[in-house]
Structure formats: structure tokens, C-alpha cells
Amino acid sequence: MIRLSLRQFRTQGYLAIGLLGVAAIMLAATGPHFAHVYDAYAKAQGACIASPTCPNVRIGVSTLDSLLELIGTALVAVPALVGAFWGAPLISREFENGTHRLALTQSVTRTRWVAVKLAFVGAASVAATGLLSLMVTWWSAPMDAANMNRFDAGLFGERNITPLGYAAFAFALGVSFGVILRRALPAMAATLGVFLGVRLAFTYLIRQHLISPRHLSTTLAAITTGYGTNGGPSAQSSLFLSAPNLPNAWVYSTRAVDSSAHILNAHTVNSACPQLATASGPPSGASQVQASTAARDAFETCVTQLSATYHGVVTYQPASRYWLFQSYETGIYLAGALALVGLCFYWLHRHAT
């Protein structure tokens, strides 16, 4: 069975090795330059941090943004492609061609037949995705250090160990659809659609609930507060609190609340500070120096008045929980893959004749 599985997987395996080789060459050729540019800008910034003309590290490494985006997109697509092109046809092709009858009528049990296929091709899927993830994580380290935003939805799933969970889940999902539908093309289409739906739902609806966030109280101050107004005769003003400096943390929200946790709303701001609705004040605390003196004074008076009742509350996940989130998400996808593998064995025993 192992030799047969090797022969059947030979073409896909060679293609994967070739693509990984191309990616490795491309990343190895640009990686050292990428790291050198980052180091140069980081050192320059460290020496002139107080100067307004100090170079920005993010600008220095942004010349490779296009390549980073391309590599990131490829890493997002790889698990989905693995599920569609390696997982979905693995068993469904046998049904379409009728070759499953040969396997099921031999002395080899159907459990062993499927187990060998799943173990061999599944391990190759996870290994290929893991290698690509490892290379991208190494290559993009300077950019990630400059961004200081490891929880970003566009980066979290492209780095470290989560792609391993995605690949295992996508592969098991493809095999499951192949076993149930017994047609390769419908199984491939279903795999792509369902996997992308699961990824989006997990990223934007589930991930933030994996661990209870922390809360940080801050003082309501004009320097870290901005406001906006919708204009017109019934204009309403709203205050916006700047997030504190929390490198690599995942900030959910920053709100002004009172001692009873009631959120400061536009109606309260408008009642307490009616002058803000018509003043052409600063759009944010950082740019107050460009506002008129009258507008700045009105804004600061308003914030001081409101700070007697309200304070800021930052809801966030600290940077130290990054690997905890990586582990949880990877474990959940791996558990989903194991459940789908169990479904495959159950379905084959009940329906494959």
C-alpha cells in the first residue's frame, strides 16, 4: 500500500518540491537584504530618535511590501489548494475510476487502505505548508518587528504554527467531501468554499473569544483624545481615545466610560460641550497644535470637564499571549481534522461497497 501510495502521489510531490524550491531561492535571495535594510534604519532611528527628521523603520523596509503581500497571499492559499487538489481527489478519484473495488476486494482492509493514504499524503500536506510557513516567518521577521502588530488578521495566520493546523484541516476536509460526494470536482469546489468560510468565520468571529481580554484604565486627557462632529444644525460631537503604546498587543477597543461602565455617547458630549459642534477644532489630540487657540482651549476645557466623570478603558490582549493564541487556534484546527478523519472512516465502513 505504501509503494502504491507513493506512485500515485509522485507527480504532486515533485510539483510541491519544485514550488518550495522556487520559494526558498526567492526568499533566500532577498532575505539578507531585507534584514540589512531593517538593521540600518533601526540603528539610525536609535541614534536620532528625538529628531523630527529621524528615518522611520517601517518606511525603510516598505520597499519589499509587494513581495511580502505576494508571499503572504500564497501562504493563505496553500492550505486551501492542498485540501482541494490533494485531499478531495484522494478517495473520490478511486470511486470515479472504479479502482476502489480492487482495493476493497483484496486482503488489505479498507481501514488500512484509507489509513495509508491519509497518513502519507496528509503528512506531506502538513510538511509542505510548515516548510513554507517557516521560510516566510524567517523572511518577514524585520517587517513584523517594524509593524509591532503580530495579532493583525492578515499576519497572524501566515506565521509560525497556525498554517500547520490549516493544512491538516483543509486536507481532511477535502478527503471528507471526496468520500461523501464521490466526485472529484464537486468535492474540490466544496472544499474551497467551506474552508474559506471557516477561515473567515474563525478569524473575525471566533478568534477574539478564545481567551478573555484584559482591561486597562486610563485617564481622560486632551493629548490622547480627539473628537469628530457630523456637522449641520443638529451636529453631534464624539470623543475618540487614542490607544496607549502596547507593542504587539491586540487592542479590541478604547472607550470612555463612567464609574458605572456607561459609555460616553455623543449626546452627553454635545450637552457638556456644545461649543465643539461648531468649532473647527483638531481631528485628533496629536494635531491640536495646528488648531486655533480658541478651538484648542474649548477642546481641552471640555475634556477636563468630562474627565471628572469619565475615564478611558482599553480592552486588549497582551503581546505575551501571542503563542497561546497560536497554540489554541492550531489545536482547534487539528482537532477538527481528526474529527473529519474519523468521519471518513465511519462513512467508508457504512457506505463504501
| Span 219-229, pLDDT tens digits | 877 777 776 66
φ and ψ of 143, to 5 deg: -65, -40
Q: Quick check: pTM over 0.95?
A: no
Tell me the residue type at 99: T
State residue 257's pLDDT score: 81
Average pLDDT over residues 174-182: 91
Q: What is the pLDDT of residue 281?
A: 47
Region of 231 please: left (phi>0), alpha (psi -120 to 50) or beta. Answer: left
**Mean pLDDT value of segment 161-190:** 92
The per-residue pLDDT for 117 is: 80
CA 275 and chain centroid, separation? 42
Q: Mean pLDDT across the chain, nearest whole number? A: 79
pLDDT-based confidence at 168, cuts 50/70/90? very high
Residue 232 gets the label, from left (phi > 0), alpha (psi -120 to 50) or beta, of: left
Give the pLDDT confidence score for residue 172 in this predicted structure.
Answer: 94
> Residue 288 has what pLDDT?
44
The sign of the torsion formed by the CA atoms of 348, 349, 351, 353 equals positive
What count of other Cβ atoms lies within 10 Å of the Cβ of residue 334? 17
Share of the chain above pLDDT 90, in %: 21
- How many angstroms separate the CA atoms of 324 and 339, rounded? 22
User: 49: Cβ–Cβ under 8 A, 6 or more apart, which residues?
Assistant: none
Does position 289 have pLDDT exceeding 50, yes or no? no
The confidence band for 341, taking pLDDT boundaries of 50, 70 and 90, is very high
Q: Which residue has the higher pLDDT, 207 or 154?
A: 207
> Regarding predicted confidence, which is higher, 228 or 215?
215
Grid cell 516567518 is found at 137
pLDDT of residue 287: 43
Q: Kindly state the average pLDDT of the residues 263-292.
A: 60
**Average pLDDT of the residues in 312-341:** 93
Q: pLDDT by residue (tens digit) across 17-53? A: 888 888 888 888 877 777 777 776 666 666 555 555 5
pLDDT in tens, 46-89: 655 555 555 555 555 555 666 777 777 777 788 899 889 998 88
Query: Do the Cβ atoms of 225 and 242 come closer than 8 Å?
Result: yes
For the residues of 47-77, what is the DSSP string, one character each?
Answer: HSTTSTTPPPHHHHHGGGHHHHHHHHHHHHH
Could you tell me which residues are beta bridge partners of residue 170?
none
* Contacting residues for 85 by C-beta, under 8 A, at least 6 apart: 12, 188
Judged by DSSP in three states, 317 sits in strand
pLDDT in tens, 102-124: 666 666 677 777 788 888 888 88
104's enclosing H/E stretch is helix 100-104
In the structure, what pLDDT confidence band is assigned to residue 284 with cuts at 50, 70 and 90?
very low
Give yes or no for a contact between 30 and 22, defined as CB atoms under 8 angstroms apart. Answer: no
Cβ atoms 276, 237 nearer than 8 A? yes
Least confident of 82-86, 204-208, 249-253, 347-351: 347-351
